[in-house]
Structure 1
């Protein structure tokens, strides 16, 4: 991956996602306290049970987010996209990490350490409110995930995952068929059949380790269409 400067990274995370929803002064404070970090494909950002830490904003690349209830092993839930922020729960609860986040590709992020957030909050009581917005955006995403998983047809669930994740942009989705099956609660056979169906329709092209979506609107329409069978 081509290295991205701090200035360019700030422009990217300011153009989509959480930072577009907060006041400009707070946005500037977040960026002033942020640190640019690089992860290689496969590197773990944090594990379940790691000590409390700060927040991370995705600049480029892709992160995989694995979650689970307490006392269960985390499972792949979704792929993060540029503008996506994570890590807010530690600031709000002071408890260890509840999920696992790793780089699905070579990835660039901005990191705001926990102590920096605390200093900001000591000066402005609205900081906690602004950070809580990350949590609510995560809840909105998880509601989409639950809604999609309740679709009875596996091919509709698979189309839902693909159209939701294509917000990454034009880069190939770094997902194997097995990983796509986990996110869509579908067997590998079901995933293979759906991908072939979508490929024949011209909506995507795929290899074993990546998928390129050519027509996200067609996938979205298919994912949301009702079918009686």
Structure 2
């Protein structure tokens, strides 16, 4: 069996077990996977930009992607790191408008892509598909609510721990610089440097050059909630 077929099988298994697609009806889930294509992106690739023409949805299988956005008259800023199992791009299907976020890879990344045309075909065959696709939007709203909540925390260490908790699961390495972590947490590079040193001393993370590995997700989560 070829490596691509093995990768495809693993991708379908992951997306069937995590995130938005995993909680959809079996027949709908199988139809999405049957119609979707598996794509590979090199590090630093822009999957799509703000104001790109309308397109379909992408499900993260492996790798790291940044979600960047801003008001129309501002430059896109990093607000979130996608986790495997997460999907995005539903806005074009729901509104028929151009892209409102930028998606960019930080490492070699594999994503499942369902085109806008395929989404339209599924919705025409089964009107309930529109409701299922709209649930991606609600998952995105939950992420934004979490980002806002985390940025309102009073302590710099809390906000930094929260940003890392949102970005990486246990044992996962995220290729983020200290400046990028600061951008996500509303803190300075100096504050991030000091916090990472404290977190590393407690065994919660391992900080390397432009990368952080989460070693103790629970400890990090407790710090994010003020040590509760």
So what's the TM-score if we normalise by structure 2? 0.95
How far apart are the structure 2 equivalents of 1:14 and 1:90? Answer: 23
Aligned to 2:135: 133
1:47 corresponds to which residue?
Answer: 49
How far, CA to CA, are the matches of 1:137 and 1:224 in structure 2? 22
Stretches of structure 1 lacking an aligned partner (at least 5 in a row): none
Question: Residue in 2 aligned with 1:206?
Answer: 207
Which digits, 9 at most, give the CA deviation of each residue in 1:104-136, with x for residues without a partner? 110000000000100111111111100110000
Q: How many residues align?
A: 225
- Quote the residue 2:198 is aligned against: 197
Q: Give how far 1:171 is off.
A: 3.0
Shift of 1:226: 6.6
SS at match of 1:191: helix
Counterpart selection for 1:92 from 94, 97, 100? 94
- Give the distance between the partners of 1:112 and 1:86, measured in 2 at CA: 11
After the TM superposition, which segments of 4 or more aligned residues of structure 1 sit over 6 Å from their partners?
Answer: none
Provide the aligned C-alpha RMSD in A. Answer: 1.4
In structure 2, runs of 5+ residues without a counterpart are: none
Whether contact under 8 Å (2:165, 2:221) holds in the other structure is yes
Please tell me whether the aligned partners of residues 174 and 213 of structure 2 are also in contact (alpha carbons under 8 angstroms).
yes
Task: Give the Cα–Cα distance (whole angstroms) in 2 for the partners of residues 208 and 5 of structure 1.
Answer: 29
Who is 1:103 aligned against?
105
CA distance in 2, matches of 1:134, 1:224: 27
Q: 1:21 is matched with which residue?
A: 23
Question: What is the TM-score with the length of structure 1 in the denominator?
Answer: 0.95
What are the equivalent positions in structure 2 for 1:124-163 lying under 5 Å apart?
A: 124-163=126-165
1:71 aligned to 2:73?
Answer: yes
Structure 1 position 8 matched with structure 2 position 10: yes
Residue 40 of structure 1 and its aligned partner are, at CA, apart by 0.3
Which shifted more, 30-39 or 158-167? 158-167
3-state DSSP of counterpart to 1:5: helix
The match for 1:223 is 224
